Chains A and B, each alone.
Chain A
Amino acid sequence: MSLNYNNMQPLSLNSKGDIKIDINQVRIDILHGIRECTDRGLTQTTKWLAELNYSLRDHKITYEHPPSTQEDDISPEEREAYTLAKTYFDCQEYDRAAHFLENCSSSKCVFLHKYSQYMSSEKKRLDNATDLGTENTDSTQVLLDLLSYFKANRSNLDGYLLYLEGVVLKKLDLRSQAVTVLQAAVAAAPTLWSAWVELAGLANEYEALDSFQLPQHWMMYFFAAHAFVELKLSEQALEAYMVLVAAGFEKSTYVTAQMAIAHHDRRDVDSSLALFRELYQNDPYRLDNWDVYSHLLYLKEKRMELANLAQRAVSIDKYRVETCCVIGNYYSLRSEHQKAVIYFQRALSLDPQYLSAWILMGHEFIELQNSNAAIQCYRQAIDVNRNDYRAWNGLGQAYEILGLNGYCIYYYSRAAQLKPDDSRMLVSLGEAYEKMDKIPNALKCYYKAHSTGDIEGMALFKLAKLYEKSNMPNSAAAAYTAACQDPANAGSKELPAAQRYLAQYYLRFSLLDHAAHYAYKCLEHESTKEAGKNILKTISEKRSSAATSQPTNLPEDLPDAIKNASTVSLSHETPKTPLPSPNVTPDNFSTPVFARKSSKYKM
Chain B
Amino acid sequence: MDKTESIGRSSIEGCMNIDLMRSLVKQYSELGQWTSALFWADAAAAAAGGGLDSASGDDVWLLASAMLARGELHRAAHAVTSRGLHRRHLLCLGVAMRAFLAAREPATALNLMDECDPMLLEPRNTDQTHNRALAGVLVWQARALTALERREAAAEALAAALRADCAHYEALDLLLEQHALTPHQESELIESLPINSQLSAAEGALLRAAYRQRLHRYSPAPIALPPPDTDCPITAEAEAVGGRMMEAAQSRARRLAAACRWTDALRALDTVDPWCCVEVRAACLVELKRSSELFAFAHSLVDAYPHAWTSWYAVGCYYYLIGKSELARRYLSKAKSLEPSAGCVWLAYGHSFAADNEHDQAMAAYFKASQLMSGCHLPPLYVGVECALLNNFTMCERFLTRAAQLHSNAKVKAVEEGEGGAGDKAVWSRVVAGARSPHVAHEAGAAAYGAGDYHAARTLFTLALEAATPPDKQEVSPRWAATLDALGHAYRALGRPREALVWHGRALALRPARPATLCAMGLCHALLGRERDAAALLHAALAHDPDDVVALALLDAIVDRLDAQLTEEEIPQFPFPAVNISPPAAPVTPPADATNTSDMSMSFD
Contact = CB atoms under 8 A, between A and B. Distances in A.
A580 B583 contact: yes
Contact of A481 (B508, B544, B577): B577
Contacts of B422: none
A477 interface: yes
A517 B509 CA distance: 71
Given A380-B543, A410-B559, A441 B601 contact: no
Interface in B559-579: 559-560, 562-565, 567, 569, 571-579
Contacts of B544: 132-133, 383
A524 B572 contact: no
Given A376-B546, A474-B573, A520-B602, A582 B583 contact: yes
B574 A467 contact: yes
B78 interface: no
A472 interface: yes
A381 B560 CA distance: 23
B576 A561 contact: yes
A478 B575 contact: yes
Interface string A466-491: 01001010111111011001000000
Interface string A229-273: 000000000000000000000000000000000000000000000
Contacts of A582: 581-585, 599-602
Interface stretch (B125-133, B342-350, B433-441, B588-596): B588-596
Contacts of B514: 135
Contacts of A529: 604
Contact of A140 (B511, B573, B589, B604): B511
B515 A133 contact: yes
Interface stretch (B137-145, B235-243, B455-463, B532-540): B532-540
Interface string A517-550: 1001101100001001000000000000000000
A173 B512 contact: yes
A379 B535 CA distance: 12
Contact of A475 (B540, B542, B565, B573): B573
Contacts of B602: 520-521, 523-524, 582-583
A92 interface: no
A439 B577 CA distance: 23
Contacts of A133: 515, 544-545
A439 to B, nearest CB: 8
A300 B54 CA distance: 117
Given A379-B542, A482-B574, A524-B604, A585 B594 contact: yes
B571 A440 contact: yes
Contacts of B574: 447, 463-464, 467, 475-476, 478-479, 482
Contacts of A587: 597
B513 interface: yes
Interface string A6-39: 0000000000000000000000000000000000
A595 interface: no
Contacts of A69: none
Interface in B489-539: 508-515, 535-536, 539
A144 B474 CA distance: 14
Contacts of B513: 173
B539 A379 contact: yes
Interface string A356-398: 0000000000000000000110011011001000000000000
Interface string A109-149: 00000000000000000000000110101001100100000
A470 B571 CA distance: 11
Nearest to A451: B572
Interface size class of B (residues with CB under 8 A): 35 or more
A417 B510 CA distance: 33
A460 B544 CA distance: 40
A403 B145 CA distance: 74
A478 B576 contact: yes
A464 B576 CA distance: 12
B50 interface: no
Contact of A565 (B573, B578, B600): B578
B559 A407 contact: yes
B590 to A, nearest CB: 9
Nearest to B542: A379
A594 B595 CA distance: 12
A570 B432 CA distance: 94
A500 to B, nearest CB: 14
A335 B556 CA distance: 34
A523 B511 CA distance: 70
B567 A472 contact: no
Nearest to A502: B579
Nearest to A382: B539
Contact of A409 (B563, B599, B601): B563
- Dominant SS at the B interface? loop
Contacts of A520: 602, 604
Given A417-B564, A477-B576, A523-B604, A444 B571 contact: yes
Pick the most buried of B540, B565, B599: most chain A CB atoms within 10 A of its CB.
B565
Nearest to B535: A410
Pick the most buried of B555, B564, B569, B595: most chain A CB atoms within 10 A of its CB.
B564
Given A478-B574, A580-B589, A514 B515 contact: no
A132 B579 contact: no
B228 interface: no
A478 B577 contact: yes
A141 B478 contact: yes
B230 interface: no
B478 A578 contact: no
Interface in B352-395: none
Nearest to A379: B543
B200 interface: no
Contact of B572 (A137, A409, A443): A443
B579 A481 contact: yes
A569 interface: yes
A99 B500 CA distance: 41
A300 B595 CA distance: 50
Nearest to A140: B512
A406 interface: yes
B580 interface: yes
A474 B576 contact: yes
A585 B600 contact: yes
Contacts of B583: 580, 582
B289 to A, nearest CB: 9
Contacts of A467: 574
Contacts of B599: 582
Contacts of B585: 582
Contact of B576 (A376, A379, A532, A562): A562
A156 interface: no
A565 B581 contact: yes
Contacts of A444: 565, 569, 571-572
A481 B559 contact: no
Contact of A379 (B546, B578, B579, B595): B546
Contacts of B536: 386
A413 interface: yes
A514 B579 CA distance: 10
Contact of B581 (A174, A478, A514): A514
Interface string A189-216: 0000000000000000000000000000
A362 B446 CA distance: 41
A135 B511 contact: yes
B577 A482 contact: yes
Given A406-B560, A409-B563, 17 more contacts: A144-B478, A375-B546, A380-B543, A407-B559, A441-B567, A464-B574, A474-B576, A478-B575, A514-B579, A521-B602, A524-B602, A562-B579, A565-B579, A578-B594, A580-B582, A580-B589, A582-B584
25 contacts: A132-B544, A140-B511, A383-B543, A406-B559, A407-B555, A440-B567, A440-B569, A478-B573, A478-B577, A479-B574, A482-B574, A482-B577, A485-B577, A520-B602, A523-B602, A532-B604, A561-B579, A565-B579, A578-B592, A580-B582, A580-B589, A583-B600, A583-B601, A585-B594, A587-B597
The 3 A-B residue pairs with the shortest CB-CB distance in the complex, in nearest-first order: A383-B543, A523-B604, A561-B576
